[in-house]
Structure 1
């Protein structure tokens, strides 16, 4: 919202996010090579350090941030690339098929707890100050927390991977492993929704309410429902129920977008937030667990786990880039203030389409060993 308040330009915000989604997968490839040759904890620490530099840069450029939207997005994408590569690899290594649903559910609980408190506190602080002072306070706090995270990372044990970085070999594995090919197409579909939704919904809510605190309340409702259902899904969803859960939640998330078509009031937006908060955990937990299962049963997964995660990220961000390109194309013909809900309806089917890519995945069948 900081960039939006400075520029009031949908294109600037879209290009900012586009630069994130272009640089993030490219950084994943570089980070994957580093993780193989150096150490995953070093990669994690690099990501956190770059993310702290992002907030420091925002503090330095201040009210000129919108002028540097592409540079800031690129910096954030690089930070995300290093951080999420290490995070995803470590998650894959410490979980098993029997524990992944619980782990992902518990992780979602922690993320939702932060989602309940962070945006509401930020909205309160921003609403109490004039101009950009509130945002400066928030970015300063964020910078301090990332510096703390860098210091904490020195307490992690170093974990070096073995072997050469074989990115092309795992890309080609799509031709040999139908399950791997299906899950990658599902990630394009996932990214197609996320690319636009991750920024456009917040803008839409702000346009209706003109108040950061109201946006914080929306996030409180969304994260509160997510907090509860991440906890419940981690207990309820078993491997045999994953596909049904993905279908039900994907359909519900898509139908909930209709609320944005007819809603111009805060109560209906809060209902949308509650629905999304209920069904996103129901989709995310079994879907991510299924993804890790497919990787775990793929060819040479032990040695090539980093490459599998890098390729998955490449397909996910391909979907995100396609989504933003559709958004930019649409707003060149339709006034965003009236066309935004219809754009969200177009890209919002991404999560529903996930089911049709994963429904035939057979996680019980082990992949044949190939040379």
Structure 2
């Protein structure tokens, strides 16, 4: 047994000098992987489902705007609840809310657009409770030395889930046709959420300070330069991310009218993102985060310009492939720097939950601002192409702010 452990330690040390994964983190990643499979099966197709019902981009944008606006509210409340009960309790609430969301979708089916406010708010509630707990537990189960490796592993789990699940979902929907495929996909997601909920009981409850410091931490960006740079920078990251989380899939479906094409797109882009996460997990170190973020921001801005020429199947695939490579450079770097800023805050162990809450508030302010552009401007392809280009260029400014963070 000791020999096997020695071999395992040797192999992982060759991958990354700080590659230790605690048993608690392995359990968390297992739950997260199952959860992401459920999300991956359905999330993209919830947007497509709404599009098919109304044939109107505005209803999809409104759904996502409600979703993003709800998340920070739930994060703030969820932080208070986590202090009173536990983080794992919040995790299970999030999973249960996702389950309820898909029960409602299975019930209302083609009348979903009539319940857009409820569905968007429920999606935000689910994500708020779940990701607050997941992000804080991920922070607790890692250190600054191995955090880049851990986030790389988290990215690999995400990529595998988004590689397999949307393609399988697309194949099922295409094969069964009509609403039957959507019903089966949503039902499968519901089953996976139930499994994830049961397994989450194996994640140990962390001892946390009961006092909730949300007011003081919420206003830290007004007082501390490092906090101001990372939180405004995170808003700019959300500014692009909120739109591109759903827009490429909806645009592709609007052009080809086939879920299978979306499955191909997610399969290819997720495979490439998997390789990018693998590369990042082995290469990125605390002192190289800003360099990788700059590379990612430049390439995201550059590839976004392709839509100034034309929005088509070809340009959507090109954009998705290239952005899949470099968005990992941005996301892993930003999270590493934000966690470092939280860690260096006085009494950080007592206020780590508040730090994650505030980060999510600023991220979703950016997401709401991004989708608001789609509601304010015409939905013609030329205007949409210009908006995507502007969102891409904003990532250069995001890097500029993160680069100002003093990490020494």
Do structure 1's residue 169 and structure 2's residue 216 form an aligned pair?
Answer: yes
User: Residues 332-371 of structure 1: matches in 2 within 5 Å?
Assistant: 335-364=379-408
Distance between the aligned counterparts of 1:188 and 1:264, measured in 2?
A: 26
Name the counterpart of 1:369: none
Distance between the aligned counterparts of 2:298 and 2:337, measured in 1?
A: 18
TM-fit CA distance, 1:352: 2.6
Name the counterpart of 2:145: 98
Q: 2:77 aligns with which of 5, 12, 30?
A: 30
> Deviations 1:202-221 (Å, cap 9, x if unpaired)?
11111222211111111111
**Does the 8 A contact of 2:90 with 2:130 survive in 1?**
yes
TM-fit CA distance, 1:117: 0.8
> Deviations 1:160-205 (Å, cap 9, x if unpaired)?
4113111111122223321111100111101111121112111111
User: Residues 8-23 of structure 1: matches in 2 within 5 Å?
Assistant: 8-23=55-70
Distance between the aligned counterparts of 2:241 and 2:355, measured in 1?
A: 21
Name the counterpart of 2:167: 120
TM-fit CA distance, 1:265: 4.3
**252-261 or 46-55, which deviates more:** 252-261
TM-fit CA distance, 1:132: 1.2
Q: 1:278 aligns with which of 325, 328, 346?
A: 325
User: Residues 278-317 of structure 1: matches in 2 within 5 Å?
Assistant: 278-317=325-364
Secondary structure at the counterpart of residue 352 of structure 1:
helix
Secondary structure at the counterpart of residue 158 of structure 1:
coil
**Does the 8 A contact of 1:35 with 1:160 survive in 2?**
no
Name the counterpart of 1:39: 86
Distance between the aligned counterparts of 1:109 and 1:260, measured in 2?
A: 29
Distance between the aligned counterparts of 2:312 and 2:390, measured in 1?
A: 22
Name the counterpart of 1:325: 372
> Deviations 1:238-278 (Å, cap 9, x if unpaired)?
12211111011111011111223334543443222221111
Residues 264 and 17 (structure 1), Cα distance of their counterparts in 2 relative to 1, 3 Å cut: closer
Give the TM-score of the pair, scaled to structure 1.
0.94
**Does the 8 A contact of 1:38 with 1:160 survive in 2?**
no
User: Residues 145-160 of structure 1: matches in 2 within 5 Å?
Assistant: 145-160=192-207
Q: Which runs of 5+ in 2 are unaligned?
A: 1-47
**Does the 8 A contact of 1:193 with 1:323 survive in 2?**
yes
**340-349 or 320-329, which deviates more:** 340-349
**Does the 8 A contact of 2:308 with 2:382 survive in 1?**
no
**Does the 8 A contact of 2:166 with 2:266 survive in 1?**
yes
RMSD: 1.3
Name the counterpart of 2:111: 64
Name the counterpart of 2:25: none
Name the counterpart of 1:250: 297
Do structure 1's residue 77 and structure 2's residue 124 form an aligned pair?
Answer: yes
Q: Which runs of 5+ in 1 are unaligned?
A: 365-371
> Deviations 1:281-331 (Å, cap 9, x if unpaired)?
122112211111111111221101111111111111111111121211112
Distance between the aligned counterparts of 1:340 and 1:154, measured in 2?
A: 44
Give the TM-score of the pair, scaled to structure 2.
0.86
Name the counterpart of 1:6: 53
**Does the 8 A contact of 1:41 with 1:86 survive in 2?**
yes
Secondary structure at the counterpart of residue 246 of structure 2:
helix
**Does the 8 A contact of 1:100 with 1:289 survive in 2?**
yes
Query: How many positions carry a matched residue from both structures?
Result: 361
Q: 1:183 aligns with which of 226, 230, 251?
A: 230
**Does the 8 A contact of 2:248 with 2:316 survive in 1?**
no
Secondary structure at the counterpart of residue 267 of structure 2:
helix
**Does the 8 A contact of 1:36 with 1:160 survive in 2?**
no
Distance between the aligned counterparts of 1:248 and 1:236, measured in 2?
A: 14
Distance between the aligned counterparts of 1:263 and 1:110, measured in 2?
A: 33
